[in-house]
Structure 1
Amino acid sequence: MDVPRLLEAASLLVPEEVATENDVTVNDVWEYLTRDEWEVTLGLLEELLEERAEVHPLPLGFWQALATAAEQLRLERSAAWSHWRCYETRHGIIRADLTLTPADKARRKTPFSGAGVLRPMWDIGRRTPTGEPDLCVAALWAEFTPSMEPGGRATVRLAPLSPSNWQHLQPGQVITMHEDRTLAGTAVVVDIQRPPTPATAPQHPSPFSR
């Protein structure tokens, strides 16, 4: 287990000298580690670092450390989420409100996992030389939604296979989801966060390497 990296991540928590009785500090994390309560430690860090990341983006190394720890504990969903956050740190964040087509009007009749497994195509406004929609692939992670059923609705995060094709996207833009040429869902972009620096070749698993 990469204890130094986990403690480095824990250092982002509330300092001991200013902590209240309800705050979680690096000493609390260390106490769990010394008792070999790895799953508790990892879950705690995931939750607290995610809250901090909403205000101040975290360095790639923190998410890599959590991904490594989750893989060693065989926590597949936690590992997948940490790798997803690695991808977003490098390429930016795309969030959208997605409504799936009802089962009686769609090809899909069954639910699918919300944990980045599905990699549908999206009509994001690009066109082929002949004027047809130029569909682009992006994996999908549904926030706080273990699975999505036909007709369901959720806020989703998208990880494009080719991020450069998505640079024109803006909040409020309507895009459509396709598992084939038929309409699988309609989404409204609600948040775009560009990466702070240009992404280089990935040095960790992406949503497309699983």
Structure 2
Amino acid sequence: MTHPDVAALLESACLLAPEGTATANDLTVRDVWEYLAHDEWETALGLLEEFGDGHQLPSTFWARMAEAAELLHLARSSAWCRWRCTEIRNGMVRADLTLRPAAEARRRTPLAGHGVLRPMWDIGNLSPAGGTSVSIAGLWVEGRPFLEPGGRATVRLVPFTPRHWTHVEAGRRITMHEDRTVAGTAVVLEVKPPVTVRPEG
């Protein structure tokens, strides 16, 4: 890793964030430039991640952030930034998920919260024969590295086949499956469709 590589990526990400963008603590892009000027890469990266919480930033922003995080050996930050790229491409469903207790479900161990799990979801679709048809979506637990059996948390889902999810709206109850049994139940809080990128020219 060379510092110029990280600096160039973070500076490029800064240029993609609107000047007025601010974190919950009222830190702005101008503050990020100040941290970059003092070679405080991790702090700058963390602030730029926060900008994405309340603003729709382009996938290029997240891709450059992911590269910078990889150079800094920040595995979770890199995974998060790559996850955000996928949200832009495939859409995102935010939900309040409650897992079934270990005594009532197949899962006995906590599930990883950083996007590696790809469970099946019953979102109301039917097969040609009229039976339940499940759809796969990746799962990211907000603010926690794991979610234990019986636990409850806000999660973000990235559909593998976005067209299967177009009817899903806030307030809908959906169920999570890791096999034929129900692993958890979620109430949809927010739905963001895929971002359509118009070709240039």
TM-score of the superposed pair, with normalisation by structure 2: 0.85
1:26 Cα deviation after fit: 4.4
Give the aligned CA root-mean-square deviation in angstroms. Answer: 2.4
Q: Is the 1:117–1:139 Cα contact (8 Å) retained in structure 2?
A: yes
1:14 Cα deviation after fit: 5.2
- Say which SS state the counterpart of residue 65 (structure 2) adopts: helix
Query: Residue 10 of structure 1 is aligned with which of 5, 11, 14?
Result: 14
In the alignment, the residues of structure 1 paired with residue 11 and residue 84 of structure 2 have an alpha-carbon distance, to the nearest angstrom, of 19
In the alignment, the residues of structure 1 paired with residue 68 and residue 95 of structure 2 have an alpha-carbon distance, to the nearest angstrom, of 29
- Say which SS state the counterpart of residue 182 (structure 2) adopts: coil
Instruction: Summarize the alignment of residues 176-191 of structure 1 with structure 2, pairs less than 5 Å apart.
Output: 176-191=175-190
In the alignment, the residues of structure 2 paired with residue 168 and residue 198 of structure 1 have an alpha-carbon distance, to the nearest angstrom, of 22
1:60 Cα deviation after fit: 1.4
* Counterpart check, 1:134 vs 2:133: yes
When residues 191 and 28 of structure 1 are mapped into structure 2, their CA distance, relative to the original with a 3 A threshold, is: closer
* Counterpart check, 1:101 vs 2:100: yes
Gaps of 5+ in 2: none
In the alignment, the residues of structure 2 paired with residue 190 and residue 71 of structure 1 have an alpha-carbon distance, to the nearest angstrom, of 31
In the alignment, the residues of structure 1 paired with residue 141 and residue 181 of structure 2 have an alpha-carbon distance, to the nearest angstrom, of 21
When residues 99 and 79 of structure 1 are mapped into structure 2, their CA distance, relative to the original with a 3 A threshold, is: same
Matched residue, 2:159 = 160
In the alignment, the residues of structure 2 paired with residue 63 and residue 74 of structure 1 have an alpha-carbon distance, to the nearest angstrom, of 16
- Say which SS state the counterpart of residue 99 (structure 1) adopts: strand
* Counterpart check, 1:173 vs 2:177: no
Matched residue, 1:50 = 52
TM-score of the superposed pair, with normalisation by structure 1: 0.81
Q: Is the 1:7–1:26 Cα contact (8 Å) retained in structure 2?
A: no
Matched residue, 1:66 = 65
In the alignment, the residues of structure 1 paired with residue 64 and residue 197 of structure 2 have an alpha-carbon distance, to the nearest angstrom, of 22
Q: Is the 1:98–1:188 Cα contact (8 Å) retained in structure 2?
A: yes
AA aligned to 1:118 is L
In the alignment, the residues of structure 2 paired with residue 70 and residue 132 of structure 1 have an alpha-carbon distance, to the nearest angstrom, of 44
Aligned residues: 191
Gaps of 5+ in 1: 201-210
When residues 123 and 199 of structure 1 are mapped into structure 2, their CA distance, relative to the original with a 3 A threshold, is: farther
Q: Is the 1:13–1:24 Cα contact (8 Å) retained in structure 2?
A: no
- Say which SS state the counterpart of residue 50 (structure 1) adopts: helix
1:142 Cα deviation after fit: 0.9
When residues 24 and 80 of structure 1 are mapped into structure 2, their CA distance, relative to the original with a 3 A threshold, is: same
**Large movers: runs of 4+ above 4 Å:** none
When residues 5 and 159 of structure 1 are mapped into structure 2, their CA distance, relative to the original with a 3 A threshold, is: same
AA aligned to 2:112 is S
In the alignment, the residues of structure 1 paired with residue 163 and residue 13 of structure 2 have an alpha-carbon distance, to the nearest angstrom, of 30
When residues 122 and 42 of structure 1 are mapped into structure 2, their CA distance, relative to the original with a 3 A threshold, is: same
- Say which SS state the counterpart of residue 184 (structure 1) adopts: strand
Instruction: Summarize the alignment of residues 137-148 of structure 1 with structure 2, pairs less than 5 Å apart.
Output: 137-148=136-147
Matched residue, 1:78 = 77
Q: Determine what percentage of the aligned residue pairs are the same residue.
A: 55
When residues 180 and 51 of structure 1 are mapped into structure 2, their CA distance, relative to the original with a 3 A threshold, is: closer
AA aligned to 1:107 is R
